[in-house]
Amino acid sequence: MAAIPGSGNTSVTFTHTFDLAKYVDRALDLEKWNPGSYIVGDKVTWNEFAEIAEAAKGVKCHGP
């Protein structure tokens, strides 16, 4: 059973570790760094995340 915080409708952003590693690797090759750098991930709610996990695993993992 998944522990979903609150109603589960709060948005969260996920970034895959491979994507983050690729970003850092390329940033380290820059001759000059800007004062700010950004990386964007996938934004979903906790309920949507649970649905994705259920579909991937083939089992129900949260609430009724």
37-63 pLDDT per residue, tens = 888 899 999 999 999 989 998 888 766
Task: With cut-offs at 50, 70 and 90, classify the pLDDT of residue 33.
Answer: confident
Task: Find, among 57, 64, 41, 47, the residue nearest to 5 by Cα.
Answer: 47
In a domain, residue 63? The reply is: no
Residue 31 in this model has a pLDDT that exceeds 60: yes
Q: Which residue range(s) make up the domain with 33?
A: 11-57
Report the pLDDT value the prediction gives residue 64, as an integer from 0 to 100: 57
Domain total for the chain? 1
Which position has the token pair 């590693």?
Answer: 21
Q: Which helix (H) or strand (E) holds 35?
A: none
In a domain, residue 50? The reply is: yes
Task: With cut-offs at 50, 70 and 90, classify the pLDDT of residue 23.
Answer: very high
Task: Find, among 62, 24, 29, the residue nearest to 46 by Cα.
Answer: 62
Residue 21 in this model has a pLDDT that exceeds 90: yes
CA distance 11 to 55: 19
